[in-house]
A and B are shown apart, each in its own frame.
Chain A
Amino acid sequence: MSDAPATPGAGAGSAPAPDLVPVLSATWAEERSWSIDTYADAGGYQALTKALGMAPGDLIQAVKDSGLRGRGGAGFPTGMKWGFLPPDDGGPRYLVVNADESEPGTCKDIPTMMSAPHALVEGVIITSFAIGCNHAFIYLRGEVVHVYRRLLQAVREAYEAGHLGKDIHGSGFDLDVTVHAGAGAYICGEETALLDSLEGRRGQPRLKPPFPAVAGLYARPTVVNNVESVASVPAIVDKGVEWFTAMGTERSKGMGLFSLSGHVARPGQYEAPLGITLRELLEHAGGIREGHELKFWTPGGSSTPIFTAEHLDTPLDYESVGAAGSMLGTRALQLFDDTTCVVRAVTRWTEFYKHESCGKCTPCREGTFWLTQILKRIEGGRGTQADIQQLLDTCDSIAGRSFCALGDGATSSIISSVKLFREEYEAHVEQGGCPFDRAASALFDYDEAPAGATRADSDAPEEAHA
């Protein structure tokens, strides 16, 4: 929390590349970065002291003024979400942190919680104070056990330091925090499915309205915020609204973690002002892997329509990415070079949505099944030209027809890839197979042919069970 950027976000979109702005990631390289001592030495929990001296309404107004928008994908203004809670009726109201990071490509909240869990814990305390919550929950996906250890310890340390519990630092404010581990279900990242799961049920989305602000956890007023949104709150309180709004673009303020993965020289977490471009990020990340060119990429995870090299200079803010036909989502930039078969990539994403569809709504449950059948047929060289249109028609039968956005997300990469790479789908049909060499895409060397032969000849259990 210590390294305030000198000139954050100056001239996003123009050369030279705007500086990276490590805020949440500033302490990650410190010794025992996850401990409360390291966090406090870097100025941690100063924001809490400041917040407890403010009126809750002023805190909500400050977050509204900062322009902070939800970092979990949808980009809804965080302060406005807090402001939607109905007036206090004397009953409980809840903060639930969505730490169920599972969107393919998205890998920012896990390192945040692994390396600096106290940024989240401090954010939880300040947010709870602002919205009048006395029991907050952090819903962490279950498949990251060391992150769970770090969160459990961080919450315990916060209790021991008097940041949690009864009458916190003499303020009269009480808060308990429960860290809850999920059990493996992508759909629980959808906020109403998450709430059902936290209530001990199957994680299936609810019909909205009523929105969680009115009837959320246990049918009580509830704020559901992403990890990065909540973890950004202490810095806003500590450094001020003007510091935050100096970064970013007109309507996309502040900094965010950009997660570069795939065929890039130095993949990883790059914290930068919103509005930075992929071209600028790649300058910091060493470019696409040597000897290759960027073919396609996702700006915000697998649920966002894909981009190509034509979008290298699109400012990565909510408005610009939207205007270019995709979504900023979770800033999960998955980069694929010229060796990658787009049909293979899209087929695999579609299998993911089929696997993760909760089954509640027919269009999504049945539609993702049929999309997978058609795509596997095309990828395997058994498709027809009519299958490509059938894919698009099936997408039409899914998008916008279910309770939640999972089905919509399943159609994004299909529709955008057919638009951008239709000839590649057609080539699979015409050639009766995939024109690409899978081994060329891998990050290690291997020879594809012998393995396939060995496999076909072997009496592997998969075949035995068939």
Chain B
Amino acid sequence: MTYDETTLAQLTADAADIVGRYPVARSALLPMLHLVQSVDGYVSPDGIQFCADTLGLTAAEVSAVATFYTQYKRRPNGEYQVGVCTNTLCAVMGGDRIWEELSEHVGVGHDETTEDGSVTLERLECNAACDYAPVMMVNWEFFDNQTPESAKDVVDRLRAGEDVAPTRGPAKVCTFKEVSRVLAGFEDGRADEDQGPGAPTLAGLEAARAATAAAAAADSGRTEAQQ
């Protein structure tokens, strides 16, 4: 391994914290791979060896797990992982077009990274926000109800170094490495940041309230009509 002393000490301390969450050490492997990505920006050979050494596994066993999951990257990842949902619902609502225009605009295809290392593009599978279709995710934050223009604008601003807020989530999208550390189970103090729950999340609640109000109005309307 080529980690310097400080990095290795921090990794070791963080790994001990993760292992301590589970009754059996091997359960720490997935969060530890997120941890490796928070340091190296991908699942590096050093990171694989570190996980293997910590958990008493072989490097082959760790690689076998890492290659199964799409969030673990086998090459240095862009600072921003930009995914356009092209599963059926989002694709039909416009996701296919967003993908085509964004891919052409940025100049890279699926699972490819821009030369400046800022953006990795991905065609996403369903990200559980279908009521906000078409959806784009940047470093696993929600960008709801997208259009080709809005998607290109988000990516342009990120590449220009601006802070960009998702439509639901924290005040700004963090970097791939920062987000990977959260996914390893380390809080970053942003849980209370909020952009509001979004209209679809509240649609049923508001419809229920409207129905109740309408029923009350109908009652009072009848009373007034009788007077």
Contact = CB atoms under 8 A, between A and B. Distances in A.
B34 A142 contact: yes
Contact of A142 (B107, B140, B191): B140
A442 B97 contact: yes
Contact of B137 (A102, A135, A143, A443): A143
Specify the main secondary structure of chain A where it touches its partner.
mixed
B204 interface: yes
B78 interface: no
B30 A104 contact: no
A458 B104 contact: yes
Contact of A262 (B23, B31, B130, B137): B130
A201 B65 contact: yes
Contacts of B97: 438-439, 442, 444, 446, 451
A284 B211 contact: yes
B204 A348 contact: no
A446 B148 contact: yes
B187 A156 contact: yes
B88 interface: yes
Nearest to B187: A152
Interface in A4-27: 19-22, 25-26
Interface residues of B, number: 85
Given A146-B142, A201-B65, A344 B208 contact: no
Nearest to B70: A184
A334 B89 contact: yes
Contacts of A103: 126
B128 A109 contact: yes
Contacts of A181: 30-31, 34, 183-185
Contacts of A198: 27
B26 A200 contact: yes
A261 B130 contact: yes
A357 interface: no
Interface string B183-197: 111011011101001
A356 to B, nearest CB: 7
21 contacts: A22-B205, A29-B205, A103-B126, A104-B87, A104-B89, A143-B71, A144-B127, A145-B141, A148-B182, A152-B191, A153-B187, A203-B69, A259-B130, A268-B131, A270-B204, A285-B203, A340-B92, A451-B100, A460-B104, A460-B107, A461-B109
Interface of A: 19-22, 25-26, 28-29, 32-35, 92, 101-107, 109-111, 114-115, 135, 141-146, 148-150, 152-153, 156, 178-186, 197-203, 218, 257-263, 266-272, 284-285, 302, 332, 334, 336, 340, 344-346, 348-349, 352, 355-356, 358, 438-439, 441-444, 446, 451, 454-455, 458, 460-462, 465
Interface of B: 21-24, 26-31, 33-34, 55, 64-65, 68-72, 86-89, 91-94, 96-97, 100-101, 103-104, 107-110, 112, 125-134, 137, 139-142, 145, 147-148, 166, 168-170, 179, 182-185, 187-188, 190-192, 194, 197, 199-208, 211-212
